Amino acid sequence: MSSPVKVICALGSPYSHSVEAALCLKGVPYELIREELSNKSELLLKHNPVHKKVPVLLHGDHAVCESLVIVEYVDEAFDGPPLMPTDPYDRAMARFWADFMQNKLLELFWLAHWTEGEVQKRFAKEAKENLTLLEVQLRGKRFFGGDTVGYIDIACCVLAPWLSVLEEVTGVIVVDESEYPALRQWEKEYNSYDALKPCLPDRDQLVAYFTENKERYKMFANA
């Protein structure tokens, strides 16, 4: 019998969601421990002393930190449909695009929604150039890996549940449907994927959260 799995997470965090998505897709039951990031718990600080961030996966006595590291761990430690491709070259491509999303595009995408004026225009231009690269990767496919949600899709999750929420709260449109039809279709597919239903964030809750924290996000973005 496998040890219990818990996820220390935070509302509104796409990184936390990626871990939940991986667990859902593998069919692993888990418990959520919701963290208030303004008042970090002893549990979080104990299990992620290096970064003090969510998400953290607790598997029995062991802690795993950093969302993509956790996703690969979940893929390797548990049975269930594979999240990563089997061929080494395809795996290298999956890691490449996940790294691209998380370390290059994500910040640009985020700032393009939360900033204003000339600054916003600059971020939007850069974000769009990078979004185009993803759009090309997706063309002709339902998901980045093919017919099922996999590693790259999970790494790109901020472009699914969060996209329309950010657009609604900030009034900014960056991922124009006419310019990125494949990405917008992928967004719909991700948001309606059966196996993800148990862990997809509640849209109203996300809207309420980002509306409530709008000034704070804008302040961080403009710093």
Partner 1 sequence: MATAGGEVTCVDFWANGFGMRARIALRELGVAFRYVEEDLRSGDRSELVRRMNPVHRSIPILIHGGRPVCGSVNILEYVDETWGNDGGPRLLPRDPLQRAHARFWADFVDQKVFSTQTRFLKSKGAEKEAAKEELLDQLRRLEEVLGDKTFLAGDEFGFLDAVLIPFSSMFHGYEQHGGFSLETECPSLMRWVRRCKERDSVKSVLPDEDEMYELHKKWYGISE
Q: Which strands, in side-by-side order, build the sheet including 31-34? A: 31-34, 5-9, 56-59, 62-65
CA distance 163 to 66: 22
Strand pairing report for 56-59 and 5-9 = antiparallel
With binding defined as CB under 8 A, does residue 136 bind partner 1? no
Nearer to partner 1, 54 or 165 (CB): 54
Q: Which of 77, 119, 172, 208 binds partner 1 (CB under 8 A)?
A: 77
Phi, psi of 173 (to 5 degrees): -115, 120
Q: Which of 36, 76, 176, 179 binds partner 1 (CB under 8 A)?
A: 76
Q: How far is the CB of 68 from partner 1 (least distance, A)?
A: 8
Return the range that interacts with partner 1 (CB under 8 A); candidates 86-94, 147-155, 174-182, 197-205: 86-94
Phi, psi of 65 (to 5 degrees): -120, 165
Binding site for partner 1 (CB under 8 A): 50, 59, 62, 64-66, 69-70, 72-73, 76-77, 88-89, 91-92, 95-96, 99-100, 104, 133
